[in-house]
Amino acid sequence: MNTISYWEQQGFGTADWVVVGAGLVGLQSASRIKETYPKVRVVVLDEHAMGNAASLRNAGFACFGSAGEMLDEIARTNELEAVGLYEKRFLGIQKLLGRYGADRIGFQASGGTEVFSTDDEAGLVIAQVSALNKALCGVHGKDAFVVCDMIPTKMNVVKSGVFCPLEGGIQTHLLYRAVREEALRLGVEIYEGMRVADWDETNDFVELHMGNGMKIIAGRLVICTNGFTRRLIPDLAVAPARGQVFVTKAMDVLPFEGIFHADKGYIYFRELGGHRILIGGGRNLDFVGEETMDMVVTDQFRSHLKSYLETVVLPGRTVEFEYEWSGVMGMNENRNPIIGWHSNRVCLAVRMGGMGVALSSWVADEVIEVVKKDLGV
């Protein structure tokens, strides 16, 4: 017996555009489509409430790639790809700030700092700072990296770190709220609790089938499911990558502020308001085990990151966590996003490579360029 009401199905019915995924990328892509074509019906579908996957589960770093991370990226791809990706992230943050405003998204221009645990690691990165600055100066006309003194932070790290003056922190919930409000204001319809199971594409439309038995006919589809994309398109080069995050209880005044990177960007931490520290990452401990969509936290990562805080960040202090969660990123050796037509009526905007906060506004602008080119307007 069909338990879907006539009214539910009528209300759902048809749309000119359906965007799958109400994360930062899906919502901003939907906004750009609706802004460009105000008369069309744009519907966003998400299986979870509040963009459960990554957009409300990240660390809120407005970052583009620390020096160590850039060198790692160059080793995995090449300098051209790595600089191109850095530029997309940098432009993405500028677009976010321009579109929503620094205050509204809680942006703090604190800068970011990369810390090192061994002299060898520090030496390798610091030796490349001026070459990296040269490679990146075309992006923003300033030095991306400056060697800095870590002693005032009282961390148990090598005394020289690398400061990234252009980075900062955002308040993730404020950014998500601003992006969602914009979509609603423009007239985008957002439906949660809608898991897209699959679709059939014809010459004229796409028929999407939900896990709950409902269906919707769309003129065109944009897939913004990032780390979950393999469930819909199994052979696409986007692997799920879980990121685990922990937030301490409130502590005494901390001897540092801002955002920090360590271990080629695999570990990240920041001071949150209220003297708490957010710490996350460590995926390089177990790449295979973390290639999962299962959003749990594990004892292995909890104790690894707790120990890092107690021995490196706040040496000699005991920390207790009050919050812990995980989210799923869309990853590949090449962390450049995939944006473009997958078929005649299905467009992709996926694979944010772990920095989709930074990339999201840039990606949404690319989506609308792809759409305009296809529609000829």
Ligand X SMILES: Cc1cc2nc3c(=O)[nH]c(=O)nc-3n(C[C@H](O)[C@H](O)[C@H](O)COP(=O)(O)OP(=O)(O)OC[C@H]3O[C@@H](n4cnc5c(N)ncnc54)[C@H](O)[C@@H]3O)c2cc1C
CB atoms within 10 A of CB 196: 21
One of 247, 355, 364, 367 touching ligand X (CB under 6 A):
355
Q: Considering the rule CB under 6 A, would residue 346 count as an interface residue with ligand X?
A: no
One of 157, 224, 305, 314 touching ligand X (CB under 6 A):
224
Q: Considering the rule CB under 6 A, would residue 178 count as an interface residue with ligand X?
A: no
Give the contacts of 98 (CB within 8 A, at least 6 positions apart).
none
Residue with tokens 């898991």: 195
Listed ranges 46-54, 74-82, 114-122, 128-136: which one lies at the site for ligand X (CB under 6 A): 46-54
Q: Considering the rule CB under 6 A, would residue 265 count as an interface residue with ligand X?
A: no
Distances (CA, A) of 12 to 15, 197, 275, 332: 8, 16, 46, 35
Residue 287 to residue 266: CA distance in whole angstroms: 11
**Residue 170, token pair as written in the block:** 């955002």
One of 57, 88, 264, 335 touching ligand X (CB under 6 A):
57
Q: Considering the rule CB under 6 A, would residue 86 count as an interface residue with ligand X?
A: no
Residues 183-212 vs ligand X: string with x where CB under 6 A?
-----------xxx----------------
CB closer to ligand X out of 155 and 196:
196
* The residue count for the chain: 377
Distances (CA, A) of 320 to 55, 201, 278, 306: 25, 51, 11, 8
Q: Considering the rule CB under 6 A, would residue 228 count as an interface residue with ligand X?
A: yes
**Residue 81, token pair as written in the block:** 């790809």
One of 18, 30, 44, 51 touching ligand X (CB under 6 A):
51
Name the minimum Å distance from CB 323 to ligand X: 12
Beta strands in the chain (DSSP E): 14-20, 42-46, 61-62, 112-115, 146-149, 160-164, 168-169, 189-192, 196-201, 206-210, 215-223, 239-248, 259-262, 267-272, 276-281, 321-331, 338-341, 346-350
One of 245, 305, 319, 364 touching ligand X (CB under 6 A):
245
Q: Considering the rule CB under 6 A, would residue 113 count as an interface residue with ligand X?
A: no
In the complex, which residues of this chain contact ligand X (CB under 6 A)? 20-26, 45-48, 51-55, 57-61, 194-196, 224-228, 231-232, 243, 245, 280, 327, 329, 352, 354-358, 360
